[in-house]
Structure formats: structure tokens, C-alpha cells
Amino acid sequence: MKGRLEKPVYVTRPSMPDYNEYVERIRPLWDSHILTNMAEYHQQLEQELCRYLQTDRISLMTNGHMALEMALQSQGLSGEVITTPFTFISTTHAIVRNNLTPVFCDINEKDLTIDVSKIEALISKRTCAIVPVHIYGRICDVEKIEEIAKRHGLKVIYDAAHAFGVTYKGKPAACYGDMSILSFHATKVFNTVEGGAVIYHNEEDGKELYSLKNFGIRSEEYIDGVGANAKMDELRAIMGLCNLRNVEREITRRKVLFEAYIEGLKDIPGITLPFVQKDVKTNYAYFPVLFDKEILGVGRDVIYEELKKRNVYTRKYFYPLVNDTKCYGNIYSVKGTPVAEKAAASVLTLPIYADLETETVSCICAYIREIIGQGEKR
């Protein structure tokens, strides 16, 4: 084994604001003692996000998962929801925890989002909604999905956890569908440590979301539903306000690293590199690579382990497929999603975050070439 990074490099690392800036922003909380319940900074972050995302309506949540649970619950849905198995397990959990039945649609080979050509064949009398997933900073075929949904009278709720700052034809990805949810988890392009949001378009939906994330409380003395506690607190809202100031710089830096990976790994037969979709301004959230074992002579899992020996910690994202997990594998068959199955068996996301050094990217690319070369000799 040739070479090893001195310090471990992980697939991602949270971006943080200037320490003194954050301390100054939270200092007033020690005077007010108001830490939560949708107070001043919570409201301010909602306003700032509305401006950034070009929307009039947003509801902050404690995390992206609860954002999706609350979005689904707010629509009063029952029956089946068409979604993709090539996603983080949270997507399906949110559907199932709303007593809805997930129906898995395969992904397309090009960008790995839901295959819109296969959606209609899965629609039944019980279908109530579609939950497509934007992944890696790529977005689904939003126009075709809207067309299908309108024709069949279905709700569309996007899992846009990876799509903060992404636009399609100038319109933010989070503004498509009846609703879209965002994740502000520490590992995302924009973070509030933990956090999330629902983008919605109907004022009544906003009232319902407010109630659901606040125990079903409509007013001080009026509770008319079973809700949860999914509010964002003031400390995290302030973290968001600080990080939002730097998010464009974050994306610009990620682009530099993205392009460095492309330069370092191009022209290797047997690997598929990520790309930026037409008409999309991406956020360079992840750098997913597909490794073809038959061509390379070495599989994804070997590359994963060998990189780990070199202090490079990648991620098999997404693996396993949702419909091949222990909790769902005995209920839903993986046989109907062969493209997703192939992608899950070959994908590896490489480290990418704003503080990562370009030289480190070059080292990682050299390691991958070395490992592949060793595989070819076997």
C-alpha cells in the first residue's frame, strides 16, 4: 500500500460560522431566556429563507425527517405512495409512520432519480401521492411528474433534502410540487446543526403544519388534533442565520472540488462520474461515483475498504436499498427495481466539503487509480 493521509478525511464535514459571530448572535438569549417556541430568531430565519428560496411560505422543523412526516400528515392522505428505494431510509419511514403504503418505483440510469416512465404503471385506485427524491444536488423530472400527478389527481411531496440552493430553469427546486421538504442536518450544504423545513404554497397548509409541529395546538386554549413536537429552537435558528450568509461561498468552494475530482478521475474505463444536469444550477452536495466491477476488476466494496486503510472514509450512499433492508425487505421485493439495485451495489460518495483541500482531492484520486491498477493485475 502506497501512502496514507496523515489525518482522517470523512465523506463530509459540517460548515460552521465564525465562532465570535455565533457567540455574539446568541448572547441576547442569556438576557431574554427565550430559547424556543417559534420566537424571534426562528421567525427571522423563516423570513431569510423565504428570500433565499424565492418562496412566500416556509415552516421550520426540528429536522428533515419530521418535516416530511408533518408534510405527509398535513395532507390527510390514505392508501399508497409511489416513491423510490434509492434514498435514505428516512423517506420511507416517514411514509410508513403515516400509515401509508410505499410503492417502490425504479430509478433511471442517467441521473438515478425516480424513473418517470415507470410511475403510471404503479398507480392504482389506492394511490394518493408521489414522493420523489432529489439526490446529490440533482433533481427529478419535475415537469413530467407534475403532468402525471395532475392527470391522476395525486399530491406531490418532494424529498428535497439534498437540494438546498439548487435551481431548475431559475426556479428553486424546493418550490416544486404541492410541498417540498429540506434537511438542514449538520452534513448538508446549509445546516442549522439539526433542522429542516417544509416549503408549501397554500395558506391552510401552513396553519396545519404549525399545529402539527406544536402538539396540535391551534391557540392557547384550543387543541383540535394529534400533533408532535417538531419545532426548531432559537440556538439552531441563529446557527442557520449565520450559515446562510456563507452558503453561496460554500457552494462555490464545493464546485472547485467537484471539478478537481472530475479532472483527477476522468478517462478511467469502468467508472461513472457525476454531472450537472441541463438547466440546473446545482449545489455540489455530494460526489457519487459508480464503479463497474466487471470492467475494473475490482468492486466498490474493495475500493471502499482500501480507501479506509489510507484514512479516506467514503460512504455507500445509498446502500442498502430501502426495499432490501431488514425492516422492509420481507414486505417489498427488490426485483422490481433492477436499476436501483445495480446503483446501490456500485455507488460510493467521495469526500466533499468546503474546508477540504484541493491537494487532498488529488491524493484521493491517486489512491483510487492505484487501487484500480492493483485490481487489474489480479
Q: To the nearest 10°, the Cα dihedral for 156, 162, 163, 164?
A: 120
Question: Please, which residues have CB within 8 angstroms of residue 192's CB and are 6 or more apart in sequence?
Answer: 45, 184, 232, 236, 237, 239, 240, 243
The whole-angstrom separation of Cα 273 and Cα 259 is 11
- Residue, of 228 and 332, whose pLDDT is higher: 228
199 pLDDT more than 60: yes
Amino acid, single-letter form, for residue 357 = E
For residue 320, what pLDDT band results from cuts at 50, 70 and 90?
very high
CATH topology for 19-244?
A: Aspartate Aminotransferase; domain 2 (3.40.640)
Q: How high is the pLDDT of residue 376?
A: 56
Q: pLDDT averaged over the chain?
A: 95
Q: Domain coordinates of the chain in residue numbers? A: 9-13+247-377, 19-244
377 pLDDT more than 70: no
pLDDT tens-digit map of 155-174: 999 999 999 999 999 999 99
For residue 1, what pLDDT band results from cuts at 50, 70 and 90?
very low
For residue 278, what pLDDT band results from cuts at 50, 70 and 90?
very high
pLDDT tens-digit map of 52-104: 999 999 999 999 999 999 999 999 999 999 999 999 999 999 999 999 999 99
Q: How high is the pLDDT of residue 336?
A: 86
Rounded to an integer, the average pLDDT of 29-45 is 97
The whole-angstrom separation of Cα 273 and Cα 16 is 28
pLDDT tens-digit map of 43-58: 999 999 999 999 999 9
CA angle 25, 29, 35 (to 5 degrees): 115
Q: Look at residues 184, 170, 121, 123 and name the one whose alpha carbon lies nearest to residue 142.
A: 170
175 pLDDT more than 90: yes
Rounded to an integer, the average pLDDT of 299-315 is 98
The whole-angstrom separation of Cα 295 and Cα 375 is 10
209 pLDDT more than 60: yes
pLDDT tens-digit map of 103-118: 999 999 999 999 999 9
138 pLDDT more than 90: yes
> pTM of the full predicted structure?
0.96
> Which residue bears the cell 438542514?
184
Kind of pairing between the strands at 155-159 and 101-104: unpaired
For residue 334, what pLDDT band results from cuts at 50, 70 and 90?
low
CATH class of the domain comprising 9-13+247-377: alpha beta
Q: Look at residues 48, 93, 86 and name the one whose alpha carbon lies nearest to residue 66.
A: 93
Rounded to an integer, the average pLDDT of 251-280 is 97
User: Out of 123-132, 140-149, 181-190, 218-227, which region has the weakest mean confidence (pLDDT)?
Assistant: 218-227
Sign, CA dihedral 91-119-285-308, equals: positive
Please name every residue paired with 135 in a beta bridge, in sequence order, or none if there are none. Answer: 138
